[in-house]
Amino acid sequence: MSNQASVNHTQAIATPQQLIELLGVYWQGHPEHIKLSLCCYLAGGHLLLQGPPGTGKTLLALLLSRLLNLSFGRVQCTADLLPGDITGVPVYHRSKEQFEFRPGPVFHECLLVDELTRAPPKSQSALLEAMAETQVTVDNQCYPLPDHFFVIATQNEQHEVGTFPLPRAQLDRFLLSLEIPYPTPEQELQLLQQGDVHKRLPAIDHQCEACTVAGWRAALEQIAVAEPVYQYITDLLSASRQQAGCGLSTRAGIGIVQMAKAYALVSDHQQVLPDHVQAVFLACTAHRLASPHSNGQETVPMQQLLQSVPIR
């Protein structure tokens, strides 16, 4: 009876704008980061959160999964993490005299991979197939993951001891990367007065219904993109390749289109404008052009590139 009562008292979230507003109540960060994080999920991508420890990266992931009403799994990366700790492993059942697959945490709708760069490269690579193809292969058997599978990974600063930098191929699997800085003095004062938000998570009584999120995704596909906007994104991709030995990939360009459509949706617009492309461009690209030896800084200044390419 008590479970039924709690379900009845859950308040449904009706619009993306309402979800963004609620996230801002519990996560005292940068409002634009909240908006971009939601856009990343709606666009079908994966999110990389970077920055110093204790700045709310994990909290943002927990809030997104809870308000979006997603099943949640977590992997805490360490140097001894094995690929099977992420994907799952076959387990032998003596009574049945056969192996059965025991799914790992990757089989949730939202997977938080905390401190990804602390995992060894072999374990990091266990996520590549999951992120790109929404499936995992174990013992030559493919297992599908949930629809709209969403990875949120946090990354430590690369100069820290015991970290393994992510290769470009893996960074390119992340649609979006956000740098979470230390809060401003005003934000920090509010955080100190507010206390530990993690303790308040079970009391959150707002959630999205599955049909509501499906409606948002359907609406996103109806967002119009004019030919000049496609050409503008193509020009940006070409410019990145001229200024660096390895520029932005075609996957990056497809991601920018999807992110710009999601940004238009949450901004209550019916078509993508060049302003929407510019709003998501830096978060979609800086991590893709970061050198393993550059402390996470992009080899091509993306802001400079954005300013150098004219809008047609």
Considering the entire predicted model, what is its pTM?
Answer: 0.90
Residue 134 Ramachandran class (φ > 0 left, ψ -120 to 50 alpha, else beta): left
Helix residue spans in 125-249 (DSSP H):
126-133, 168-171, 185-194, 210-221, 227-243
Q: 3-state DSSP call for residue 86?
A: helix
Q: Check whether residue 25 and residue 162 sit in a common domain.
A: yes
Please give the pLDDT value at position 291.
Answer: 54
Q: Which string of b and e fits 27-50 if b means at least 16 CB within 10 Å?
A: bbbbeebbbbbbbbbbbbbbbbbb
Q: 3-state DSSP call for residue 137?
A: strand
Helix residue spans in 44-175 (DSSP H):
57-67, 84-87, 121-124, 126-133, 168-171
Last residue of a domain, one of 194, 219, 244: 219
CATH of the domain at 187: 3.40.50.300
Q: Check whether residue 238 and residue 115 sit in a common domain.
A: no
Q: CB count, 10 Å around CB of 96? A: 8
pLDDT along the chain (312 residues), means of 10: 45 92 86 95 96 89 94 94 94 86 95 94 91 92 94 80 82 93 86 82 86 95 96 94 78 96 97 96 88 51 86 82
Q: Check whether residue 229 and residue 215 sit in a common domain.
A: no
CATH of the domain at 302: 1.10.8.80
Residue 175 domain boundaries = 12-219
